[in-house]
Structure 1
């Protein structure tokens, strides 16, 4: 008689996950995270920096986990492939759907935009009037920044209110130079 061991959630592939956490639980947890940060800062920029730092912790862990479990330790080396991975695979894993758009800036080869019409992290947050410019999607910007930086694409990522939420990704010059070198091969 063989006994079957039921695989834990940690054994399941990330890419095939299907909303394992109820949206209401996620909303409550995230709102508590915002409240926790709010009680430790004095200004909106400080709050957004704190949320970004927490997002970076998540991003660091998720890219390590994904790289080990799904890619056998291999990482993307081309910039566009990495951005498409974030827009599609990473977003589906974290939020259950792809980000809405990926655009390249017309006037700066180092700048890309990931556009999300309705960021889940902003959906259930009531922003007090004195904190009107608060964009909790800085948490997601932190995730994106950590995923890129830990994958060898150093960048600064910020969240802005434009077409919903736009994540502005500004890469170091070294990333663009390396990507051009890879294209010339």
Structure 2
């Protein structure tokens, strides 16, 4: 008498069957550093000046930002986008930063003299951590890549702004919103 063993066979699942909410895996820091250094070298070989290089990095970051907007709004917000200015800034400071860098940004500040300007402050930006800037490119701030990501996310959420990276208190991202955004936000507060 022979015995037959029947084993349970799991059906194969395709990547399209997997939920968007189960995607929080981490990338090794050394892999990220290598990939980012290659990105900087790629951009550097196609420009002549430091401002051109920072603009090119911001353009590359914007491509990432457009994709991050859709992913994070679906994953974290169930498809609902923010309508208030402060809410979208807090979404970027917390959710976006955690998704990209594994932690929140250090500070979010509002400029005292200009109601259109906000600052996202990061003491030690991951994109600048492994970059050694040559003396002839002393003003280079690779955080322009992250500024491009933030600018694209704000634009996609309906908050057009210009985002630039500066050396101040570590790395500071200056977010300068269009006048229409401030006007709309004030109208929402008055309701």
TM-score, normalised on structure 1?
0.93
Residue 146 of structure 1 is aligned with which of 124, 149, 152? Answer: 152
What is the number of residues matched between the two proteins?
183
Residue 85 of structure 2 aligns with which residue? 79
**Aligned: 1:37 with 2:43:** yes
Residue 144 of structure 1 aligns to a residue in which SS?
A: helix
Q: Of 52, 69, 74, which aligns to 1:68?
A: 74
- 1:159–1:167 Cα contact (<8 Å) kept: yes
**Runs of 5+ unmatched residues, structure 1:** none
| Offset at residue 3 of structure 1 (A) | 1.1
Give the CA RMSD over aligned residues.
1.8
Out of 116, 125, 129, the position equivalent to 2:122 is 116
The structure with the larger Rg is 2
Q: Return the offset for 1:68.
A: 2.8
Distance 2:188 2:38 in 1: 44
CA distance in 1, matches of 2:169, 2:82: 29
Partner of 2:47, secondary structure, is: coil
Distance (whole Å) between structure 2 residues aligned to residue 110 and residue 70 of structure 1: 27
Matching residue of 1:57: 63
* Equivalent in 53, 66, 69 of residue 47 of structure 1: 53
Q: Corresponding residue for 2:162?
A: 156
1:56 CA drift (Å): 0.4
Contact 1:18 1:96 (8 Å CA) reproduced: no
Structure 2 residue ranges without an equivalent (≥5): 1-7
Aligned to 1:13: 21
Give the TM-score normalised by structure 2: 0.90
Q: Which stretch has the larger CA shift, 26-35 or 61-70?
A: 61-70
